[in-house]
Amino acid sequence: MTYDEKINALKAEYEQRILAIVAAYGEVFRAAGYTWSGDTYQQDDSEYAWAITLLRPGTSVVGGKWPEDAVDVVFTLCEERVHERVEEGGVAFRLDLTEVSGRILGQQSPYNYTEWCWIRLDAKAEIAERFRLFEDADPAAAVSVAGGTS
Protein backbone atom coordinates (compact mmCIF):
# COMPACT_ATOMS: atom_id res chain seq x y z
CA MET A 1 0.00 0.00 0.00
CA THR A 2 1.40 3.41 -0.94
CA TYR A 3 1.79 6.28 1.51
CA ASP A 4 -1.19 8.15 0.00
CA GLU A 5 -3.35 5.03 0.21
CA LYS A 6 -2.42 4.64 3.89
CA ILE A 7 -3.29 8.28 4.64
CA ASN A 8 -6.60 7.97 2.79
CA ALA A 9 -7.41 4.76 4.68
CA LEU A 10 -6.62 6.47 7.99
CA LYS A 11 -8.85 9.39 7.00
CA ALA A 12 -11.68 7.02 6.13
CA GLU A 13 -11.25 5.10 9.39
CA TYR A 14 -11.30 8.17 11.65
CA GLU A 15 -13.40 10.73 9.77
CA GLN A 16 -16.75 10.03 11.47
CA ARG A 17 -15.11 10.10 14.91
CA ILE A 18 -13.37 13.39 14.04
CA LEU A 19 -16.69 14.86 12.91
CA ALA A 20 -18.22 13.77 16.23
CA ILE A 21 -15.43 15.51 18.17
CA VAL A 22 -15.81 18.74 16.20
CA ALA A 23 -19.61 18.62 16.60
CA ALA A 24 -19.22 18.13 20.36
CA TYR A 25 -17.23 21.37 20.48
CA GLY A 26 -19.93 23.10 18.45
CA GLU A 27 -22.67 21.93 20.81
CA VAL A 28 -20.77 22.97 23.94
CA PHE A 29 -20.14 26.42 22.50
CA ARG A 30 -23.78 26.67 21.41
CA ALA A 31 -24.87 25.86 24.97
CA ALA A 32 -22.62 28.73 26.16
CA GLY A 33 -24.46 31.21 23.91
CA TYR A 34 -22.35 31.03 20.74
CA THR A 35 -24.04 30.57 17.38
CA TRP A 36 -23.15 27.53 15.28
CA SER A 37 -24.95 26.59 12.07
CA GLY A 38 -24.35 22.89 12.66
CA ASP A 39 -22.20 22.73 9.53
CA THR A 40 -18.72 21.24 9.48
CA TYR A 41 -16.51 21.89 6.51
CA GLN A 42 -13.52 19.93 5.31
CA GLN A 43 -10.24 21.43 4.20
CA ASP A 44 -8.10 19.22 1.97
CA ASP A 45 -5.30 21.48 0.82
CA SER A 46 -2.02 20.01 2.11
CA GLU A 47 -3.54 17.89 4.89
CA TYR A 48 -6.99 16.71 5.92
CA ALA A 49 -8.79 19.01 8.34
CA TRP A 50 -12.35 19.45 9.57
CA ALA A 51 -13.58 22.78 10.93
CA ILE A 52 -16.47 24.75 12.34
CA THR A 53 -16.84 28.48 12.87
CA LEU A 54 -18.68 29.86 15.88
CA LEU A 55 -20.09 33.33 16.37
CA ARG A 56 -19.58 34.87 19.78
CA PRO A 57 -22.75 35.94 21.59
CA GLY A 58 -24.13 39.20 20.19
CA THR A 59 -22.18 39.01 16.91
CA SER A 60 -23.25 38.13 13.38
CA VAL A 61 -21.95 37.69 9.86
CA VAL A 62 -22.17 41.06 8.09
CA GLY A 63 -22.05 41.32 4.31
CA GLY A 64 -20.89 37.71 4.08
CA LYS A 65 -17.89 38.44 6.32
CA TRP A 66 -17.25 36.68 9.61
CA PRO A 67 -16.35 38.95 12.54
CA GLU A 68 -12.64 38.92 13.38
CA ASP A 69 -13.37 37.41 16.80
CA ALA A 70 -15.45 34.48 15.49
CA VAL A 71 -13.96 31.23 16.74
CA ASP A 72 -12.69 28.43 14.49
CA VAL A 73 -12.34 24.90 15.83
CA VAL A 74 -10.16 22.88 13.46
CA PHE A 75 -9.18 19.22 13.79
CA THR A 76 -6.22 18.28 11.58
CA LEU A 77 -4.77 14.94 10.57
CA CYS A 78 -1.15 16.13 10.46
CA GLU A 79 1.35 14.50 8.13
CA GLU A 80 5.03 14.39 8.96
CA ARG A 81 5.90 14.73 5.28
CA VAL A 82 4.19 18.13 5.21
CA HIS A 83 5.67 19.48 8.44
CA GLU A 84 9.13 17.92 8.34
CA ARG A 85 9.49 17.68 4.55
CA VAL A 86 10.31 13.97 4.59
CA GLU A 87 9.50 11.62 1.72
CA GLU A 88 7.04 9.65 3.81
CA GLY A 89 6.48 9.70 7.50
CA GLY A 90 4.07 9.38 10.34
CA VAL A 91 0.97 11.17 11.49
CA ALA A 92 -0.25 13.16 14.47
CA PHE A 93 -3.56 14.77 15.38
CA ARG A 94 -4.10 18.41 16.34
CA LEU A 95 -7.09 20.47 17.45
CA ASP A 96 -6.76 24.24 17.07
CA LEU A 97 -8.92 26.92 18.60
CA THR A 98 -8.34 30.26 16.86
CA GLU A 99 -10.16 33.44 16.01
CA VAL A 100 -10.93 34.19 12.36
CA SER A 101 -8.38 37.01 12.69
CA GLY A 102 -5.69 34.38 13.27
CA ARG A 103 -5.29 34.94 17.01
CA ILE A 104 -4.47 31.61 18.66
CA LEU A 105 -6.69 30.79 21.61
CA GLY A 106 -5.57 27.23 22.30
CA GLN A 107 -4.37 23.96 20.87
CA GLN A 108 -4.36 20.28 21.70
CA SER A 109 -1.34 18.67 20.07
CA PRO A 110 -0.03 15.81 22.20
CA TYR A 111 3.74 15.29 22.15
CA ASN A 112 4.30 18.15 19.71
CA TYR A 113 8.00 19.07 19.46
CA THR A 114 9.06 15.81 21.07
CA GLU A 115 10.45 12.58 19.68
CA TRP A 116 6.99 11.02 20.19
CA CYS A 117 5.13 13.50 17.98
CA TRP A 118 4.91 11.38 14.84
CA ILE A 119 3.31 7.92 14.82
CA ARG A 120 4.18 5.44 12.07
CA LEU A 121 1.24 4.75 9.78
CA ASP A 122 1.47 1.02 10.46
CA ALA A 123 1.28 1.52 14.26
CA LYS A 124 -2.50 1.16 14.47
CA ALA A 125 -2.64 0.68 18.27
CA GLU A 126 -0.51 3.79 18.89
CA ILE A 127 -2.65 5.84 16.49
CA ALA A 128 -5.81 4.67 18.28
CA GLU A 129 -4.31 5.49 21.70
CA ARG A 130 -3.31 8.99 20.58
CA PHE A 131 -6.73 9.63 19.06
CA ARG A 132 -8.45 8.66 22.30
CA LEU A 133 -6.75 11.65 23.96
CA PHE A 134 -8.98 13.85 21.81
CA GLU A 135 -12.12 11.80 22.41
CA ASP A 136 -11.47 11.91 26.16
CA ALA A 137 -10.86 15.68 26.25
CA ASP A 138 -13.56 17.91 27.71
CA PRO A 139 -14.76 20.39 25.05
CA ALA A 140 -16.27 22.62 27.77
CA ALA A 141 -12.75 23.70 28.75
CA ALA A 142 -12.39 25.27 25.29
CA VAL A 143 -15.22 27.69 25.99
CA SER A 144 -13.28 29.13 28.91
CA VAL A 145 -10.13 29.31 26.81
CA ALA A 146 -12.06 31.24 24.14
CA GLY A 147 -13.16 33.76 26.73
CA GLY A 148 -16.76 32.61 27.01
CA THR A 149 -18.54 30.97 29.87
CA SER A 150 -18.75 27.25 30.44
Strand partners, 42: 50
pLDDT digits (tens, 9 = 90+) for 54-73: 999 999 999 999 999 999 99
> In sequence order, which ranges of the chain are alpha helices (DSSP H)?
3-31, 80-83, 124-135, 140-145
Q: Which long-range contacts (CB under 8 A, 24 or more apart) does 14-23 make?
A: 14/77, 14/131, 15/50, 17/131, 17/135, 18/50, 18/75, 18/77, 19/50, 21/75, 21/95, 21/134, 21/135, 21/139, 22/50, 22/51, 22/52, 22/73, 22/75, 23/52
pLDDT digits (tens, 9 = 90+) for 86-120: 777 899 999 999 999 999 999 999 999 999 999 99
* 75 three-class SS: strand
Determine the pLDDT at residue 88.
74
**What's the predicted TM-score (pTM) here?**
0.92
Q: What is the Cα–Cα distance from 128 to 97, expressed in whole angstroms?
A: 22
